[in-house]
C-alpha cells in the first residue's frame, strides 16, 4: 500500500494528542486470530415487543494500564474540538477545498486534510477503538501515591460496651470461652492494621477520630487531641475547618506507637455524635486525594449534625441532606468512606450507607469475629483513580449531543458500573432498520499522581429483532451485576416492591435460553425416537424377506 503523506500543520489549533497504547480489553480477541463475525440477523418481522432488554457490555479499568513514564512527558494537550476524533462513525460535507467532518456523537465539526481523510477511511472498517489522552490543564501539584491517608472513625458510645461470647479464637487472643465487647474487637482490629501498614506501607499516613458525646480528633497521635463539643457539633463549616487545619503530616513509621497507645486507651461512654465525626474525618483526609475513612459504629446518630430521631418523617426529610452533602464533599476531595456496623444493631444503614455508595466504599455488617478482616480489606490501598466522570453518548436522537453523564467519583479495583437504556415505542421501527448501533463512552479522571486523563471508547453493537438470538447471546454476568445494583438502589430508597419486580424479570430472562435449549433437546429426542422406530421397522421387514 502507498504510504500516507504526513498531515500538514493546522493553523491556530493545538497539536493533535497522541494516544497511549493500551492492551486489548478482555473481550477483544488477539490480533493474530481473525475477528469472529456476529451471527446472522433473522428477518425483521420476528420482533417481539415483549422483549425489552438492551445489553451493552464494556469491561473497564480506567487507569490500571496507565503509566505516566510511558507517556513521553506531560506536555501533551488536547483540543476540545478534537476530543471525538478517535471514533469511526461520522458524516462529512465539502466546502470548496475544505473537508469538514461532523462527529455523529456530539455534532462538533472538524476540518481534516485529505491525508487524514484517507487514513480515517481505512479505520472506519473497525468496530472498536480505545484511546487514552493526557490533559495538560492541571490544577493540583504532583502527589506521591503513598501520601494517601487512612482515617479510623471509631464509635466509643456506651452501646459499644455490649459483649458477645467468643470461644477460642487466636486472632482475638482468646484461649478459652470469654466475652468480648464491640469496642475491644475494633481496638484489636485497628492494632493489627497498624502493624500491617507499618510493615507494608511505612510511608502511609494514619489518623484517628473518635466520637460519643463529643468528637475527638487525635490525628496521628503525636499531639493532644482536638475536642469538639456542644455548639461545635452543629456548625458544619466550623467542623470542616477544624478537621482540615488539624491534619496529620507524619507517616505511620513515625507515629505507630502513639496511635497504638491512643487506640488502647479508648473507653465506652456517652451518646453518638456520628454525623460530626464523619464530617471531621473527611476533612482530615481531604488534603490527600485517594484517602480512606473507615467508620466503625453500632448505633444511630442521636446528637449533633445528622441526628436521626425515631420518627421516620424527621429522619427522611432532614438528615439525608446532611449525609448527601458530606458524601459529595468526600467525592470532590477524592475520599472514600467505608461503613462497618455490627449485626443486630439499628444505625439507619439506609442513610449512612449512602456515604459508602456515593464514594466507592464498602458497607459491611460485621461481628466481633469478622470485624478485623473487614477493616483490613477496607484499609487496603486499591484506589485506581479519583474524580471519575463517565459520559455515554447515544447518537440518532432528536437533540444533538445526547448523552448520559454519571459522576462516579472514586474508583477502586473491582468496581463495576452499568448503564441501562430503552427505545421509545414510536421510534422502534427506525431503530430496527439499523444493523449496528454505535456507542461512545468517555471517562475523565485523575490518576493517583493527580494527572488529568481522558479515555475514549467507541464500539458498534449489532441490532437484532430476533428473540432467540438476543436471549441466547446475552451477557448474563453483566445483566446480573446491573440487576443487583438496581435492586439494591431501589431497596435503599424504600421501593422494595419495584426492586422485587426487577428481580423477578431478571430471573425470567435467565430462564429463557435454558427453556429454549430444553425445547430443542426435547424436539430432537422426539425426532430421534421416530427415526429409530422407522429404522427398526424397516430392518425387521428386510430380515423377513
- Tell me, yes or no, whether 294 lies in a domain: yes
- Tell me, yes or no, whether 121 lies in a domain: yes
Give the three cell numbers for residue 457.
471508547
Give per-residue burial for 235-249: e unless 16+ CB within 10 Å, then b.
eeeebbebbbebbbe
CATH of residue 316 = 3.40.50.410
H/E segment holding residue 149: strand 149-155
- Residue 149 and residue 286: Cα distance in Å, rounded? 9
- Express each pLDDT in 243-299 by its tens digit: 999 877 788 999 999 999 999 999 999 999 999 999 999 999 998 888 999 999 987
Give the three cell numbers for residue 21.
497504547
389, β-bridge pairs? 407, 444
Give the three cell numbers for residue 517.
435449549
Question: Is residue 311 located within the same domain as residue 367?
Answer: yes
**Residue from 208, 186, 189 nearest 252 by CA:** 208
Question: Is residue 235 located within the same domain as residue 325?
Answer: yes
pLDDT tier at 528 (50, 70, 90 boundaries)? low
Three-class SS of residue 492?
helix
- Express each pLDDT in 308-359 by its tens digit: 765 544 444 445 789 989 999 998 888 999 999 998 887 777 778 888 888 8
| Phi and psi based region of residue 31 (left: phi greater than 0; alpha: psi -120 to 50; beta: remaining) | alpha
Distances (CA, A) of 251 to 149, 150, 247: 9, 11, 12
The domain total for the chain is: 3
- Residue 19 and residue 21: Cα distance in Å, rounded? 6
- Tell me, yes or no, whether 18 lies in a domain: no
Pick 99 or 542 by higher pLDDT: 99
Question: Is residue 212 located within the same domain as residue 74?
Answer: no
Please calculate the CA angle 78-83-85 and round it to the nearest 5 degrees.
115
Q: Are residues 82 and 103 in contact, defined by beta-carbon separation less than 8 angstroms? A: no
In this predicted structure, the answer to whether residue 150 has a pLDDT above a threshold of 80 is yes
- Residue 382 and residue 318: Cα distance in Å, rounded? 34
In this predicted structure, the answer to whether residue 6 has a pLDDT above a threshold of 70 is no
Choosing from 346, 380, 414, the residue where a domain stops is: 380
Question: Is residue 467 located within the same domain as residue 481?
Answer: no
**Residue from 203, 217, 201 nearest 262 by CA:** 217
- Tell me, yes or no, whether 331 lies in a domain: yes
- Express each pLDDT in 431-476 by its tens digit: 777 778 788 888 888 887 778 888 888 888 777 766 555 555 667 7
In whole numbers, what is the pLDDT of the chain averaged over residues?
Answer: 72
Give the DSSP letter string of 428-442: HHHHHT-SEEEEEEE
Question: Is residue 335 located within the same domain as residue 275?
Answer: yes
- Tell me, yes or no, whether 216 lies in a domain: yes
Choosing from 473, 507, 531, the residue where a domain stops is: 473
Question: Is residue 264 located within the same domain as residue 367?
Answer: yes
Question: Is residue 209 located within the same domain as residue 264?
Answer: yes
**Residue from 211, 232, 189, 230 nearest 298 by CA:** 211
- Tell me, yes or no, whether 39 lies in a domain: no
In this predicted structure, the answer to whether residue 177 has a pLDDT above a threshold of 80 is no
Question: Is residue 238 located within the same domain as residue 359?
Answer: yes
Distances (CA, A) of 106 to 83, 128, 439: 10, 18, 12
pLDDT of residue 426: 79
Question: Is residue 155 located within the same domain as residue 226?
Answer: yes
Q: Which residues contact 22 (CB under 8 A, 6 or more apart)?
A: 65, 130, 131, 132
pLDDT of residue 211: 96
Give the DSSP letter string of 199-253: HH-TT-EEEEEEESSSEEEEETSSSPPEEE-GGGGG-HHHHHHHHHHH---S-HH
H/E segment holding residue 405: strand 403-412
- Residue 366 and residue 372: Cα distance in Å, rounded? 9
Question: Is residue 469 located within the same domain as residue 480?
Answer: no
Top mean-pLDDT range of 5-14, 135-144, 282-291, 404-413: 282-291
Q: Are residues 155 and 272 in contact, defined by beta-carbon separation less than 8 angstroms? A: yes
- Residue 88 and residue 148: Cα distance in Å, rounded? 40
Question: Is residue 302 located within the same domain as residue 178?
Answer: yes
Domain that residue 446 falls in: 44-140+385-423+430-473
Question: Is residue 393 located within the same domain as residue 451?
Answer: yes
Answer positive or negative: Cα dihedral of 284, 288, 290, 291. Answer: negative
User: Within a 13 Å sphere around the CA of 131, how many CA atoms are in the beta-carbon half?
Assistant: 21
- Tell me, yes or no, whether 15 lies in a domain: no
Residue with cell 445528622: 306
- Tell me, yes or no, whether 513 lies in a domain: yes
Residue with cell 463549616: 237
Amino acid at each position: 500500500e502507498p504510504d500516507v503523506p504526513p498531515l500538514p500543520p493546522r493553523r491556530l489549533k493545538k497539536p493533535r494528542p497522541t494516544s497511549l497504547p493500551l492492551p486489548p480489553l478482555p473481550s477483544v480477541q488477539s490480533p493474530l486470530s481473525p475477528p469472529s463475525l456476529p451471527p446472522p440477523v433473522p428477518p425483521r418481522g420476528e420482533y417481539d415487543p415483549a422483549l425489552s432488554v438492551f445489553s451493552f457490555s464494556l469491561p473497564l479499568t480506567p487507569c490500571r494500564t496507565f503509566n505516566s513514564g510511558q507517556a513521553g512527558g506531560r506536555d501533551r494537550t488536547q483540543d476540545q474540538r478534537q476530543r471525538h476524533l478517535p471514533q469511526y462513525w461520522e458524516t462529512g460535507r465539502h466546502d470548496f477545498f475544505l473537508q469538514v467532518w461532523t462527529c455523529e456523537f456530539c455534532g462538533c465539526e472538524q476540518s481534516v486534510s485529505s491525508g487524514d481523510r484517507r487514513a480515517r477511511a481505512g479505520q472506519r472498517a473497525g468496530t472498536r477503538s480505545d484511546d487514552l489522552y493526557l490533559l495538560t490543564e492541571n490544577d493540583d501539584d504532583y502527589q506521591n501515591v503513598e501520601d494517601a491517608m487512612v482515617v479510623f472513625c471509631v464509635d466509643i458510645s456506651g452501646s459499644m460496651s455490649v459483649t458477645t461470647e467468643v470461644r477460642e479464637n487466636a486472632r482475638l487472643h482468646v484461649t478459652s470461652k470469654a466475652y468480648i465487647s464491640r469496642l475491644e474487637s475494633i481496638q484489636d482490629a485497628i492494632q493489627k492494621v497498624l502493624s500491617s501498614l507499618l510493615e507494608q506501607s511505612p510511608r502511609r499516613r494514619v489518623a484517628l477520630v473518635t466520637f460519643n458525646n463529643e468528637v475527638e480528633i487525635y490525628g496521628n497521635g503525636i499531639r493532644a487531641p482536638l475536642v469538639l463539643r456542644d455548639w461545635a457539633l452543629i456548625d458544619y463549616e466550623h467542623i470542616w475547618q477544624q478537621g482540615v487545619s488539624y491534619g496529620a503530616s507524619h507517616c505511620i513509621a513515625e507515629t505507630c506507637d502513639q496511635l497504638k497507645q491512643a487506640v488502647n486507651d479508648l473507653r465506652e461512654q456517652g451518646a453518638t455524635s456520628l454525623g460530626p465525626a464523619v464530617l471531621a474525618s473527611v476533612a482530615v483526609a481531604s488534603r490527600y486525594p485517594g484517602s480512606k475513612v473507615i467508620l466503625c459504629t453500632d448505633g444511630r446518630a442521636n446528637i449533633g449534625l445528622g441526628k436521626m430521631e425515631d420518627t421516620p418523617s424527621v429522619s427522611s426529610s432532614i438528615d439525608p441532606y446532611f449525609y448527601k452533602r458530606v458524601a459529595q464533599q468526600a467525592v470532590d476531595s477524592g475520599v472514600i468512606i467505608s461503613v462497618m456496623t455490627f449485626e443486630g444493631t439499628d444505625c439507619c444503614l439506609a442513610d449512612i450507607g449512602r456515604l459508602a455508595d456515593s464514594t466507592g466504599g464498602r458497607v459491611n455488617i460485621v461481628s466481633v469475629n469478622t470485624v478485623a478482616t473487614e477493616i483490613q480489606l477496607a484499609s487496603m490501598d486499591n484506589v485506581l483513580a479519583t474524580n471519575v466522570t463517565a459520559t455515554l453518548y447515544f447518537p440518532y436522537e432528536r437533540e444533538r449531543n445526547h448523552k448520559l453523564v454519571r459522576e462516579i467519583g472514586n474508583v477502586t479495583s473491582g468496581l463495576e458500573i452499568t448503564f441501562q437504556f430503552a427505545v421509545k415505542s414510536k421510534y422502534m421501527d427506525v431503530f430496527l432498520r439499523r444493523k449496528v448501533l454505535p456507542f461512545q463512552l468517555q471517562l475523565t479522571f485523575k490518576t493517583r499522581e493527580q494527572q488529568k486523563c481522558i479515555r475514549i471508547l467507541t464500539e458498534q453493537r449489532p441490532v437484532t429483532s430476533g428473540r432467540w438470538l438476543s436471549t441466547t447471546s446475552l451477557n448474563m454476568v453483566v445483566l446480573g451485576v446491573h440487576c443487583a445494583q438496581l435492586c439494591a438502589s431501589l431497596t435503599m430508597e424504600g421501593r422494595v416492591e419495584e426492586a422485587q419486580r426487577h428481580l423477578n424479570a431478571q430471573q425470567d430472562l435467565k430462564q429463557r435460553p435454558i427453556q429454549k435449549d430444553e425445547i430443542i433437546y426435547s424436539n430432537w429426542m422426539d425426532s430421534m425416537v421416530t427415526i429409530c422406530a422407522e429404522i427398526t421397522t424397516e430392518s425387521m421387514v428386510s430380515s423377513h424377506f
